[in-house]
């Protein structure tokens, strides 16, 4: 057997990494983290840099966009990938996090005279609101599955959007302006300003790392095993003593918390939000990213979340003749998804369990 075939048979990169001693794994992680923090300077690399950096939007801003899309993909992966609950209204949690921040910090808010909080003070309150929203959505849908659950979650997102559009408190299309940025100064200048998006990307990257550590620990705990049992067969899990109601609510609350983190970061960087930001298309896009990257696997969710942000941003400013490719970003993105789903239905970086399930199904339907 050739070295290449042996490498593939042993699980590829993940298999190689798993066989290494702990100190080698820590070195690999450290190198990956350093490279991630150096991404804003990728454009300075000869030959490679100009091919990957965006043109119509500055590269650090594109990286920050990727960071909150990755957060949303990680949160939705908890709900869809781990617990097997099809959620089409995930943008609602993103909106609750952003609006919670705006209501407490923006001068346009009716609460500003009573609160007038800074961004950091509003973060825990906004995140608590998103977790409550997750429980509010999760409790009535405990007995729903599949398409029925998807329809209810879809309605939740639309209720949030319509409520934000039609109520004077949430200001509809006028939105909230002057939302404060995250705190911090360096040499008398604010770290998080309006001209440089690199600190925002670094902040988003730190939050992503913390979320990965938290979700990884949950996945390897009793909670993660309960989610797996619910995803595979909820009735069997309940018969075996798994408290399905409790752990489904856990999934909704934790997924909402991570989505709210994305909304809080988005509001703090943009400084302005309105109801047109949180359209249904956003939820569908994030779900497509999770499925495309590999549902049930954090690495796959990270890759999928990054791609659904990077591909449209990379098309900005690129023209084919007189045609601006950015206008056809969703058509091109849809084509990419179709190709990936045909050639690799388990996703780009699938979970081992999901890949094994698909192989078993292929054997079952293969002609004898």
pLDDT of 101 reads 94
pLDDT of 266 reads 95
**Is the model's pLDDT at 24 over the cut of 90?**
no
* Across 151-165, 248-262, 344-358, least confident range: 344-358
Give the residue, 299 or 368, on which the prediction is more confident.
299
Q: Is 254 exposed, middle or buried (0-12, 13-18, 19+ CB in 10 A)?
A: buried
pLDDT of 6 reads 44
Count of CB atoms within 10 A of residue 157's CB?
25
Strands 189-190 and 319-320: unpaired
Q: pLDDT of 133-167, one tens digit each?
A: 999 888 888 778 878 888 888 888 889 889 989 88
Domains of the chain: 56-353 (1.10.3470)
Supply the mean pLDDT for the chain: 86
Instruction: Report how far apart the first and last C-alpha atoms of the chain are (Å, whole number).
Output: 27
Evaluated on CA atoms 220, 22, 300, 59, the torsion sign reads positive
Q: pLDDT of 13-22, one tens digit each?
A: 666 777 878 8
Q: pLDDT of 187-225, one tens digit each?
A: 888 899 888 899 999 999 999 999 999 999 998 899 989
Whole-angstrom distance, CA of residue 181 vs CA of residue 105: 10
Give the residue, 12 or 106, on which the prediction is more confident.
106
Mean pLDDT, residues 84-103? 92
How far is CA 30 from each of CA 23, 25, 33, 183, 208, rounded to the nearest angstrom?
A: 11, 9, 5, 27, 15
pLDDT of 1 reads 47
Instruction: Tell me the whole-structure pTM to 2 decimals.
Output: 0.89
Whole-angstrom distance, CA of residue 317 vs CA of residue 130: 36
Q: pLDDT of 27-69, one tens digit each?
A: 999 999 999 999 999 888 888 888 888 887 889 999 999 999 9
**Is the model's pLDDT at 3 over the cut of 70?**
no
Give the residue, 161 or 361, on which the prediction is more confident.
161
pLDDT of 59 reads 92
Is 130 in contact with 257 (CB distance < 8 Å)? yes
């Amino acid at each position: 057997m050739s070295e290449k075939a042996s490498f593939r048979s042993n699980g590829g990169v993940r298999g190689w990494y798993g066989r290494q001693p702990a100190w080698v794994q820590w070195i690999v992680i450290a190198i990956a983290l350093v490279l991630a923090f150096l991404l804003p300077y990728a454009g300075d690399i000869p030959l490679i840099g100009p091919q990957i950096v965006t043109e119509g939007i500055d590269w650090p801003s594109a990286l920050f966009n990727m960071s909150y899309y990755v957060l949303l993909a990680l949160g939705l992966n908890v709900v869809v990938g781990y617990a097997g609950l099809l959620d089409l209204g995930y943008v609602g949690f993103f909106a609750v996090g952003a609006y919670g921040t705006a209501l407490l910090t923006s001068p346009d808010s009716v609460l500003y005279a009573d609160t007038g909080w800074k961004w950091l003070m509003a973060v825990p309150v906004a995140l608590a609101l998103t977790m409550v929203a997750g429980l509010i959505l999760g409790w009535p849908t405990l007995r729903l599955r599949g398409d029925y659950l998807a329809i209810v979650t879809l309605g939740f997102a639309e209720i949030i959007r319509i409520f934000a559009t039609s109520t004077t408190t949430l200001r509809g299309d006028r939105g909230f302006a002057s939302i404060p940025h995250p705190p911090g100064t360096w040499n008398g200048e604010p770290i998080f300003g309006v001209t440089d998006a690199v600190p925002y990307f670094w902040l988003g990257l730190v939050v992503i790392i913390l979320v990965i550590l938290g979700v990884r620990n949950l996945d390897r705990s009793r909670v993660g095993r309960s989610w797996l049992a619910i995803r595979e067969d909820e009735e069997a899990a309940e018969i075996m003593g798994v408290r399905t109601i409790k752990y489904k609510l856990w999934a909704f609350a934790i997924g909402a918390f991570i989505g709210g983190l994305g909304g809080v970061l988005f509001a703090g960087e943009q400084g302005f939000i309105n109801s047109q930001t949180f359209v249904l298309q956003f939820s569908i896009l994030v779900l497509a990213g999770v499925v495309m990257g590999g549902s049930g696997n954090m690495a796959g969710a990270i890759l999928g979340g990054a791609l659904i942000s990077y591909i449209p941003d990379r098309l900005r400013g690129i023209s084919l003749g007189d045609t601006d490719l950015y206008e056809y970003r969703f058509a091109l993105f849809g084509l990419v998804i179709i190709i990936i789903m045909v050639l690799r239905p388990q996703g780009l970086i699938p979970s081992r369990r999901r890949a094994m399930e698909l192989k078993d199904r292929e054997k079952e339907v293969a002609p004898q």
